[in-house]
Structure 1
Amino acid sequence: MRIRIRHEVRHRLEPNLRTATATIRVTPRNHVGQHILRWSLDIVPDCRIYPQEDAFGNLTHTFSLEGPGEHITLLAEGEVETQDTSGIVRGTVERFPASFFRRQTDLTTPSEDLTALAEEVTKTGEDDLGRMHALMALIAERFDEVEGEGAVPAAADVAEKLVGTSAGLSQVFTCVARLVGVPARQVSGYAAEEGTMGAARQWAEAYLPKIGWVGFDSGRCLCATDAYVRLAVGLDSLGVAPIRALGATTVVEVKAKDTTLPTRGSQNQSQG
């Protein structure tokens, strides 16, 4: 699939702010099943952009603007060619062993609801791959997904209310997977969807020793397909946030459109 992406963010700065500094994660990188054909990043007003890599190997950019100013506009756009790998992720930059992703964070701290869900998943009697599919199905069945931007509540809050954004549902998956002993991490990116403009999205990846990292989207109850473009990984949604350290977001516009001409066939979701 060939996916054309346009991600525009317009931020309103605090009044009389003299300097604005931010780190952004809106640049995908190549790996097996994902090839970046072209990608550009532009910021208005003009400023110097410093490319870097964070501790997880994500491509990041840092910039600083001298004020006073009212708005900052960020535009990332490009085209990515993807292939369906049944959710299996290979050829990525890995700075830490998989066991590192068994640690919880403030946003994935277990609660009684999450612990109960983990116990239910354990009782399925499946192997780790089967447990992860069972966990994804349970979240999709019991939780409602809603659209939304801004700060993502902790997994415990999402589990209590049984409703959350794609980021919130993914944090529930990540927390519970770790509780049953499976390394898991949060992923940010884009998802093209037939009949829509596509969207920015978050999902989870779980590590299975015989397979490797596998992407699970609990909100849609499917493993990541060639309609997904992967941006960044981290321990929770805060670690993969596209933009950190700016003022209140006023407008976010994302388009992720499949530009492949032939009609695609059905997806094979088997990792076995």
Structure 2
Amino acid sequence: MRIEIDHTTRYRYPEPVTDSVNEIRLTPRTNYRQSCFHSEVTVTPAADLFSYEDYFGNRVHAFTVNRPHKELIIRTRATVVTVDKPQGQDLPVLPHGEQLELLQREAFRDRYCEFLLPTRYTEITEELYAFAAQHPLEEAKGLHDWASRLSSTIYEEFTYDPEATSVHTTVRRTLRLKRGVCQDYAHLMIAVCRSLGVPTRYVSGYHYVGDLQGGNADFEQASHAWVEVHIPGTGWLGFDPTNNTEVNWRYIKLGHGRDYQDIVPVKGVYRGRSGELDVTVDVRRMEQ
């Protein structure tokens, strides 16, 4: 499916600010499930963009606005074609016993160590172990089935509540509240997987839902977050516990990391008083 994204980030300040240094990670990746055919970034006030790939292979654009300004606008546009078939199709699948054996091998754990270690967001606690005990790895039919069931459990047992948490919320607090947003759901699933030795990474991107809104285009859209679980012998597969589904053609991936901190869409520093932030996202399906 051909999908077009228009993402605008606007900062307004009460008085002129200077020395604004920024990084943005808003360029869709190209992989076996999607191809980014066009991507552009514009900044107002105009600034030179420096582009590079970070440690995780995410495309980063960096820029600096030194002169005084009361408004900073970052706009990205992209056209992406996604694959309309179930993820994992035509990929190899190992017997569950071999999957579990691979998880224990030192070479495997060394290869994926970044996605096995806990972080500030995905801390492993006694409460987390108790939650993870609902789905023992050994009793699953396979790791794909196990990850799918875990995603469903998070969806069923937690309440989506944008007012309950913030971008700084950790898994410990999410477990206590039993509510949160896509970022919290993703961090929780990551923490459970890592606590059992299953490599898992945080993914940021977009979720096309335009045709699910009854033809109403006047609904608020936003960036989205989900997870990718490494299935030994198969590879990385995506799961969205917020919507209780696996990644399909509706998902456009921007990048991945250990947690939210690695893949913040827009971040920076500047000299001056704090201002207001406004973000608008338009994700639409185009005619083929």
TM-score (norm 2): 0.82
Of all paired residues, the percent bearing the same amino acid is 25
Structure (1 or 2) with the larger CA radius of gyration: 2
Alignment of 1:1-272 (within 5 A): 1-13=1-13, 15=15, 17-88=17-88, 97-122=111-136, 125-126=139-140, 127-147=142-162, 151-193=167-209, 194=211, 195=213, 198-246=221-269, 249-260=276-287
> Per-residue displacement from partner, 1:79-99 (whole Å, max 9, x unpaired)?
111103533499xxxxx9334
1:249 deviates by 5.0
Q: Detail structure 1 runs of 4+ shifted over 6 Å in the superposition.
A: none
> Within 2, Cα distance between the matches of 1:74 and 1:150?
23
> Within 2, Cα distance between the matches of 1:249 and 1:135?
38
> Per-residue displacement from partner, 1:177-197 (whole Å, max 9, x unpaired)?
101110001000011012256
Q: Quick check: 80-89 or 234-243, which moved more?
A: 80-89
1:121 deviates by 1.6
Q: Letter of the aligned partner of 1:118 in structure 2?
A: A
Kept after mapping to 1: 8 A contact 2:10/2:279: yes
> Per-residue displacement from partner, 1:188-235 (whole Å, max 9, x unpaired)?
001101225653100000001121001010010111111110001010
RMSD (CA atoms): 2.3
TM-score (norm 1): 0.87
> Per-residue displacement from partner, 1:11-45 (whole Å, max 9, x unpaired)?
23585532010111000121112111211110100
Kept after mapping to 2: 8 A contact 1:6/1:78: yes
> Within 2, Cα distance between the matches of 1:248 and 1:184?
35
For structure 1, the 5+ residue unaligned runs are: 91-95, 262-272
Report SS of the residue matched to 1:76. Answer: strand
For structure 2, the 5+ residue unaligned runs are: 91-109
The 1:45–1:203 alpha-carbon spacing in structure 2 relative to 1, beyond 3 Å, is same
Report SS of the residue matched to 1:254. Answer: strand
Aligned length: 256
> Within 2, Cα distance between the matches of 1:164 and 1:104?
20
> Within 1, Cα distance between the matches of 2:44 and 2:197?
45
The 1:42–1:89 alpha-carbon spacing in structure 2 relative to 1, beyond 3 Å, is farther
